[in-house]
A and B are shown apart, each in its own frame.
Chain A
């Protein structure tokens, strides 16, 4: 028993480290209640350690916490390279977000509560780490809740403005209902299969006939919960409001890490529970009761279209980026909809790139908001001249988000389209490219304001700390390099493709 426990614990070292860091943060919060500036560093150290072990854990491929009642391959967690890839992404994002938070004036103003802030961040990280490797519906539900509960609080954490609290409340109610629906779906699925383990469910589905109506309904309900996390239309409604209302560091975190975790969860859920078999060329044939492809394509088209078209109208940059992140979720869902390793690869690459460019964009928005106190697009007028570095960097991030060469965003878009066209989903591809043209409008609009518009008064140049420039460069340089030489990025993703299961 204990041996098992130790073996299992070895498999989840990153999670354990994060949990310990969480406790340490709480502890240090109590010890150093005068000056809490050390706390973020504890978090950073802990996350780096976790990252180290996550990278170490890349080649691992086994189940952890196998249940005694069943054979070995039915674990609560699946520790595989796919999960580790996302764990690495999430941990990197978390580290970036901690630096991000340190630079953010919003977070600086609540310094005395920074212990709780970082503790909750750790809670989110932990939730996400479990999400990406969860292979049991209960773990899925609980890890989603762990993530959610932390983020509900964080969304309203600063309490600086009305909208913080409002974001928090909306997020809470929306999240509670979504997870409630998901739970109900889980209970129905449990009723049909008598199990909550994805592999076990897969076995049941292969071998017995089930009521398709109930089955579909429960899957849709479960998808509500996941769709809520990845802000897929029509489960996205919270996204713009919460993104706008939250502290910008949390917005960035939600838009990248929590979405990554959601996607990892979705992919694992589909791939583990509903696959019939995987061909040599990496495409999946699915158990036929539920047409995942059509379903996700519908969601995906809705998502990208709504995200892009509504983003056109936004004047608040944070809100615009929220819609843009919805749109990107749509593109990534396209990668999922292909239902092949190729699509998954595209999603993985897209996340890597998306992390760079989205955090970069948010970071610059934050830097500007720090100084000007505004995220309004009109306040960006002529900013490109006042602060050329920020202007150019933000332009590059936004152009990369548009998916224009020679930036990394193009490569990830290319991979998605490679997958989609190879799957012969031509109509979908056409809709997607038209969407990407539409997206240009709002991204370029920011550039227009920064460089083309006339300002009432010339904005003052922003003085940047060296650390801030370094932070931007850390994100900017890979965005450019990966656009021109993307072999390492794709090699990395390709080596992390294996998902446990059939």
Chain B
């Protein structure tokens, strides 16, 4: 077991444990901060896979953006004086049952598949390669995402703002 493996297991553990906390803790704030850890873990896994740029983006966008958004959400939808910002659960038994089967099937098929595996190649300059791809082959996607963000902006603004009464 090399250092690579140890780091992998570390990040994997962080990811999975914190994800477990995210979905199991009753306290929303706890859960939001666990999510932060999860994102970190995933980011680490990206790094292990040689996706350095992606790892950074993960942290920037998720931690800097999405998570903050979520926290805002939590704050805005719960009275701050309310000490135990807790939330109930439902569907636990069918969920465990269903997802148990679902997860088991998934793990079974994932592991049993003979994936196309070659030697792990870690490209050095992912950032420039990604940049190139983004503006050549995937320029359409790039534009599409721009419009998507615009729509998200308009949509979010229009639905969240207070109506003129």
Contacts and interface: CB of A to CB of B under 8 A. Distances in A.
In their complex, do chains A and B touch, with some C-beta pair under 8 Å? yes
A213 B113 contact: yes
B139 interface: yes
B154 A214 contact: no
Given A19-B147, A22-B147, A149-B148, A69 B137 contact: yes
B5 interface: no
A76 B116 CA distance: 24
A217 B109 contact: yes
Interface of A: 1, 5, 8, 19, 22, 26, 64-65, 67-69, 76-77, 112-113, 116-117, 119-120, 123, 126, 130, 138-139, 142-143, 145-146, 149-150, 152-153, 156-157, 159, 168, 188, 191-192, 194, 211, 213-214, 217
B115 interface: yes
Contacts of B150: 22, 26, 123
Interface in B138-165: 138-141, 143-145, 147-148, 150-152, 154-159, 163-164
A213 B159 CA distance: 43
Contacts of B106: 217
A173 B137 CA distance: 32
Contacts of A112: 164
A146 B109 contact: no
Closest 8 CB pairs of A and B: A153-B155, A116-B158, A123-B151, A211-B113, A67-B137, A214-B113, A213-B109, A65-B140
A150 B148 CA distance: 9
B136 interface: yes
Interface of B is mostly: helix
Contacts of B163: 113, 159
Interface residues of B, number: 31
A1 B109 contact: no
B109 A211 contact: yes
A188 B110 CA distance: 9
Contacts of A157: 158-159
B49 to A, nearest CB: 13
Contacts, number: 96
Instruction: Kindly name the residue among B109, B112, B114 whose own CB sees the greatest number of chain A CB atoms within 10 A.
Output: B109
B105 interface: yes
B148 A145 contact: yes
A191 B154 CA distance: 35
Contacts of B164: 112
Given A68-B136, A123-B151, A192 B144 contact: no
A76 B136 CA distance: 12
Contacts of A152: 155
A156 B137 contact: no
B155 A146 contact: no
Instruction: Kindly name the residue among B106, B116, B141, B151 whose own CB sees the greatest number of chain A CB atoms within 10 A.
Output: B151
Given A22-B147, A149-B155, A77 B109 contact: no
A349 B39 CA distance: 48
B154 A26 contact: yes
A13 to B, nearest CB: 14
Nearest to A136: B141
A153 B158 contact: yes
B154 A120 contact: yes
Nearest to A160: B163
A123 B144 CA distance: 10
Contacts of B143: 19
B23 to A, nearest CB: 14
A159 B138 CA distance: 37
Contacts of B155: 116, 120, 123, 149-150, 152-153
B144 A146 contact: yes
A211 B112 contact: yes
Nearest to B152: A149
Interface in B33-51: none
